[in-house]
Amino acid sequence: MNLRARIDLAVALAAVVASAGLGLLTWMDREDWRQHLPPRVLALLLIFLLLNRALHRLVRRPAREHSQALRRLALHDSLTGAVNRRGFMDRLAQAQQQQALLSLVMIDIDHFKRINDRHGHAAGDGVLREVAARLRRQMRGADLLGRLGGEEFALLLPATDLAGAQAQAELARQALRREPMAIAGTVTASFGVAQWDGSESAADWLHRADLALYQAKRRGRDQVSLSGART
């Protein structure tokens, strides 16, 4: 039963409740209503409880689940299943409030425009999905993968220092280039790694990781570059 049908049923149940309430008022106008108060009231309360439970199961819970599903969709990239930029930045800010040891890895697919030009945008979408899948297979349980836009991804690594993040980034780099993709052959990416210094804003931290990523690009791509401490 879809949500609209559930709402229609809820309206019908509400009409039943209203009818029962009017019947109670009519009955209470009678002179002998006090003699029959306990059983009548208990029966009416039982009806209300049953109807309230039915409303919860038919409308309130599905509506809440529907709302939660919409929120999940709003915070995830439909193509790759990764968290989108908005969701990633929200989680980044939350992590900064909860932990002191955090690292960030920025990832950019090398020569992605060339892939689109040679094989078409459908092939490019397939590459994005496969890159996300390979990155996800290298992640640990608490890590978070985000797609920040276009061919750019990011990994949030809780409880990970710079050396640990470098090792994770290297595993991801090798996972991407190890096996050619059926769609576009060998696909590589460049990686920029930055450890949070404990006080900088999420935007500043992201910027440092971005600078490290561009350094990897300038050095020839398909490599991991580390960000130094904030100056």
Between CA 113 and CA 209 the distance in angstroms is 22
Task: Kindly report the three-state secondary structure assignment for every residue of 159-182.
Answer: CCCHHHHHHHHHHHHHHHHHCCEC
Whole-angstrom distance, CA of residue 207 vs CA of residue 14: 55
Catalytic residue chosen out of the listed positions 65, 151, 170, 179: 151
Residues 6+ apart with CB under 8 A from 69: none
By three-state DSSP, how is residue 100 classified? Answer: coil
CA–CA dist 191, 131 (Å, integer): 13
Length of the chain as a residue count: 231
Contact between 156 and 85 (Cβ < 8 Å): no
The C-alpha atoms of residue 129 and residue 206 are separated, in whole angstroms, by 23
Is 152 annotated in the active site?
A: no
Range list of β-strands (E), 114-226: 144-149, 152-158, 189-195, 224-226
Distance between CA atoms of residues 96 and 103, nearest Å = 10
Q: So which residues are the catalytic ones?
A: 151
